[in-house]
């Protein structure tokens, strides 16, 4: 089978790697891909905003399955467009992709279907926002109602910080903003919970613990994710049943009442308090870096699972997992999540290859004249699977120290809640 993977990040490299294991794969195209994906697939540089060019290439090459990795093309309707051209594609349609595209859409769905979440207020102007700040206790959360690569969330300790956040959002830091979301701050432990769905049935798809703050000890600004481990230490049978009964199944019911089907990965970002789940947000794709952390643990043919979803036959699949633990540490460009240098060479990166237990997934890289350059904020994902989180972290840090790239930084405390306490 010839397949195409849409995207150029660490998530897409991990998808390409896992799918390449399938004996049914004859060729993989990464559109546009990165310096890592070109080792296992053919990178094709097509503007993802040009759906017609994308379709022309897919049609010309007789690609049989398209897997959409990132959120932006999902929210913009790529799945709808390709399906209208009779292309088999894995991912949710535009209408249900609003679960991620609009935080307010999701909040209103939660309110209607009694899904546990933080109390919130929708504000349509700076003045409206400032007026309602006094009705919330601090800390509180201010969120942009747009795609912001994980960075449009502000945890504010006082009124001045909240006003600064509101000003930045309405002043266009993340694009045009017509409204902002103000939420109560939920205390507890975060967890990433995944399912995979074919529009009729669904199966759980493991859990992970992300680390969003840029600094050690979960300090500093929010990022797209500095690292993760899987499975989450919080998960147990009772909690999983609550997540499914109170959050996942009411959401799928809501989608059904919209006369829509959900096909693809669904990622619930949760806050767990006293073994009770609260929905923070939805993402309509695999998380990043959770995807890089979870996929090396799968002990089934990922292509068969995804293909079954596209044919409404997920019920036929038995998804098996290795009895191991996995950890990912993200190596970033200095300055991230703010300004950082680009096109900086990583001199010996080509010497690093994935093995049975160690994996290297590229994110913000490109190849140029036989060199690998860092072109993004999050650049390389180092992943290890083992019997202990502590062993994985130690091995990953040893690998990172062998890399000749002075412009990189990472968090050395990923997994601190399960290792250092």
Look at residue 396 and tell me if it is in a domain: yes
Asked whether residue 77 falls in the same domain as residue 20, the answer is yes
Look at residue 17 and tell me if it is in a domain: yes
Q: What is the pLDDT of residues 324-371, one digit of tens each?
A: 999 999 999 999 999 999 999 999 999 998 999 999 999 999 999 999
- Rounded Cα–Cα distance for residues 96 and 74 (Å): 9
Q: What is the pLDDT of residues 251-270, one digit of tens each?
A: 999 999 999 999 999 999 99
- 193: β partners: 207, 268
Asked whether residue 160 falls in the same domain as residue 193, the answer is no
Q: What is the pLDDT of residues 63-107, one digit of tens each?
A: 999 999 999 999 999 999 999 999 999 999 999 999 999 888 999
Place of tokens 């070109």: 38
Q: Span 13-23, mean pLDDT?
A: 97
Look at residue 410 and tell me if it is in a domain: yes
Whether residue 149 has pLDDT greater than 70:
no
Look at residue 142 and tell me if it is in a domain: yes
Asked whether residue 245 falls in the same domain as residue 334, the answer is no
- Rounded Cα–Cα distance for residues 196 and 318 (Å): 12
Task: Please report, for the domain that includes residue 309, its CATH number.
Answer: 3.30.470.20
Look at residue 96 and tell me if it is in a domain: no
Measure Cα distances from 379 to 56, 225, 231, 294, 392 in Å.
30, 12, 23, 19, 20
pLDDT of residue 153: 86
Give the range of the structural domain holding residue 353, as residue numbers without chain letter.
Answer: 325-419
Asked whether residue 331 falls in the same domain as residue 409, the answer is yes
Q: What is the pLDDT of residues 231-253, one digit of tens each?
A: 999 999 999 999 999 999 999 99
Single residue among 316, 344, 369 that ends a domain in this structure: 316
Q: Span 6-10, mean pLDDT?
A: 98
Whole-prediction pTM value? 0.93
- 204: β partners: 195
Asked whether residue 248 falls in the same domain as residue 139, the answer is no
Q: Span 52-71, mean pLDDT?
A: 98
Task: Please report, for the domain that includes residue 20, its CATH number.
Answer: 3.40.50.20
Look at residue 352 and tell me if it is in a domain: yes
Name the strands in the sheet holding 42-43, side by side, starting at the edge strand that comes first in the sequence.
Answer: 42-43, 27-32, 2-7, 65-68, 89-90
Q: What is the pLDDT of residues 397-420, one digit of tens each?
A: 999 999 999 999 999 999 999 986
Asked whether residue 146 falls in the same domain as residue 194, the answer is no
Helix, strand and coil content of the chain, in percent to the nearest 5, comes to 30, 30, 40
Indicate the SS3 state at residue 304.
helix
Asked whether residue 72 falls in the same domain as residue 131, the answer is no
pLDDT of residue 250: 98
Single residue among 178, 198, 213 that ends a domain in this structure: 178
Look at residue 110 and tell me if it is in a domain: no
Instruction: State both tokens at 376.
Output: 């993004």
Asked whether residue 232 falls in the same domain as residue 171, the answer is no
**Which helix (H) or strand (E) covers residue 65, if one does?**
strand 65-68
Asked whether residue 213 falls in the same domain as residue 304, the answer is yes
Asked whether residue 195 falls in the same domain as residue 299, the answer is yes
Task: Please report, for the domain that includes residue 151, its CATH number.
Answer: 3.30.1490.20
Asked whether residue 41 falls in the same domain as residue 138, the answer is no
Look at residue 246 and tell me if it is in a domain: yes
Asked whether residue 197 falls in the same domain as residue 309, the answer is yes
Q: How many domains does the chain have?
A: 4
Task: Please report, for the domain that includes residue 344, its CATH number.
Answer: 3.90.600.10
Helix crossing, 10-20 with 302-310: angle to 10°? 100
* Confidence class for position 135, pLDDT limits 50, 70, 90: confident
């Amino acid at each position: 089978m010839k397949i195409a993977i849409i995207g150029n990040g660490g998530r897409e490299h991990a998808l390409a790697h896992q799918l390449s294991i399938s004996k049914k794969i004859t060729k993989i195209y990464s559109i546009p891909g990165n310096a890592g994906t070109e080792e296992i697939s053919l990178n094709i540089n097509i503007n993802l905003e040009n759906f017609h060019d994308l379709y022309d290439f897919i049609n010309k090459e007789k690609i049989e399955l398209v897997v959409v990795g990132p959120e932006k093309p999902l929210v913009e309707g790529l799945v709808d467009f390709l399906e209208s051209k009779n292309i088999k594609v894995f991912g949710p349609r535009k209408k249900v992709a609003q679960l991620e595209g609009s935080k307010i859409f999701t909040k209103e769905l939660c309110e209607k279907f009694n899904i546990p979440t933080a109390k919130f207020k929708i504000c349509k102007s700076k003045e409206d926002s400032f007026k309602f700040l006094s009705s919330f206790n601090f800390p509180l959360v201010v969120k942009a109602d747009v795609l912001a690569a994980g960075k449009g969330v502000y945890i504010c300790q006082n009124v001045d910080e909240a006003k600064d956040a509101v000003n930045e959002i309405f002043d266009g830091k993340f694009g045009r903003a017509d409204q902002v979301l103000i939420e109560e701050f939920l205390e507890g432990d975060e967890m990433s919970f995944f399912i995979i769905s074919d529009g009729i049935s669904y199966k759980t798809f493991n859990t992970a613990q992300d680390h969003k703050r840029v600094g050690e000890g979960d300090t500093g600004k929010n990022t797209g994710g500095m690292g993760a481990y899987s499975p989450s230490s919080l998960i147990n049978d009772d909690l999983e049943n609550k997540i499914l009964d109170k959050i996942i199944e009411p959401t799928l019911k809501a989608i059904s009442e919209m006369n829509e089907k959900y096909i693809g990965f669904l990622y619930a970002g949760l806050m767990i308090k006293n073994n009770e789940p609260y929905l923070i947000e939805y993402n309509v794709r695999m998380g990043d870096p959770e995807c890089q952390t979870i996929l090396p643990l799968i002990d089934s043919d990922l292509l068969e699972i995804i293909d079954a979803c596209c044919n409404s036959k997920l019920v036929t699949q038995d998804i098996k997992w290795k009895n191991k633990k996995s950890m990912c540490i993200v190596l970033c460009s200095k300055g991230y999540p703010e300004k950082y240098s680009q096109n900086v060479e990583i001199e010996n990166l080509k010497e690093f290859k994935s093995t049975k237990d160690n994996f290297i997934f590229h994110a913000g890289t490109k190849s140029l004249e036989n060199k690998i350059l860092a072109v993004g904020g999050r650049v390389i994902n180092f992943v290890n699977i083992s019997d202990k989180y502590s062993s994985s972290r130690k091995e990953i840090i040893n690998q990172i120290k062998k890399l000749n790239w002075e412009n990189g930084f990472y968090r050395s405390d990923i997994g601190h809640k399960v290792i250092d306490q």
